[in-house]
Amino acid sequence: MSPYEARWDDVGGRKVRSLTASNGDGTAPPVVLVPGLGALGYLIDTMLGCSVSGPAFLVDVPGFGHRRPRPCPPELPDIAALTVDWLRAVARRPVVLFGHSTGAQVALHVARSAPESVRSVVLAGPTFPPALREPKALLRAFMRNSRYEPQGLIPITWPYYLRGGPVALTRFVRSAQQDRPEEVIKSIGCPVTVIRGRHDAFSPAEWCRDLAGERVITAPGAHTFPFRRGGLTAALVASSRDGT
């Protein structure tokens, strides 16, 4: 038996898929996870770790986890808008919103647009700092970061990227590069915590401090530090359930 289940919800006339698990008593606020570049697989064990103390959801946006039709275009503003609608239709109470990589950018927009739906925000490996908003710098960061990523990551993430396709992925990355998280975060009223991998070249330490000040936690690993560290990542998220 799978430790989690897949569900489909009607959100404003669109079918949105998510993975969910809950092994707690239901009193803790839900944790909702938004993946980077639409790849869910590397965050499943983090979702399961979060589910120990309450309900946890991993939202399949923009829909790379299944066949077409997708519930929204693969661009950051559309994904954020759909996530807001999903929270209102499915969660229906304030959540701890965890976003990784481009998912962190989505989380900021969601918290700004729907503050009533978000109790606290956890930005894991937030992208893109100003220095990485052009292709050559991004490629150099990719090469530096890749040296520290664990084996087994590619088989977990690439099925989602292949299902999404190069055109959609390019649209997604370009829309994220045009975003300005440093401006969006100024409008966030709830607690925000940043977690970054020690060797994360996409999310430099100085960038994270600029975003969250002293609320920055350094974890082992590189950009995809949650992969195979679900228990550790969930423990770091746990304090954000109460906004502490």
Q: For the chain, what is the mean pLDDT?
A: 94
Q: How far is CA 150 from CA 5, 145, 146, 162, 201, in A?
A: 26, 11, 9, 20, 15
For residue 242, the model assigns a pLDDT of 52
For the residues of 164-222, what is the DSSP string, one character each? H-HHHHHHHHHHHHT--HHHHGGG--S-EEEEEETT-SSS-HHHHHHHHTT-EEEESSS
Q: How confident is the model at residue 157 (pLDDT cuts 50, 70, 90)?
A: very high
Averaged pLDDT, 219-235: 96
d(C-alpha 218, C-alpha 128), whole Å: 18
Residue type for position 121: V
List, in order of start, the domains of the chain with CATH numbers. 5-239 (3.40.50.1820)
Is the pLDDT at 48 greater than 90? The verdict is yes
Is the pLDDT at 187 greater than 80? The verdict is yes
d(C-alpha 161, C-alpha 147), whole Å: 20
Is the pLDDT at 36 greater than 60? The verdict is yes
For residue 10, the model assigns a pLDDT of 97
Q: In this structure, are residues 237 and 96 in contact, taking their beta carbons and an 8 Å threshold?
A: yes
> 131: which 2 tokens?
């220095």
Averaged pLDDT, 48-70: 95
**Which of 26-30, 45-49, 106-110, 190-194 has the least mean pLDDT?**
26-30
Averaged pLDDT, 173-193: 96
244 C-beta neighbours (distance < 10 Å), count? 9
Averaged pLDDT, 70-89: 98
For residue 106, the model assigns a pLDDT of 98
pLDDT: which is higher, 90 or 24: 90
Is the pLDDT at 171 greater than 70? The verdict is yes
Q: What percent of the chain has pLDDT over 70?
A: 98
Is the pLDDT at 244 greater than 50? The verdict is no
Is the pLDDT at 121 greater than 90? The verdict is yes
For residue 17, the model assigns a pLDDT of 98
Averaged pLDDT, 172-185: 96
Is the pLDDT at 24 greater than 90? The verdict is no
For residue 240, the model assigns a pLDDT of 64
d(C-alpha 211, C-alpha 136), whole Å: 24
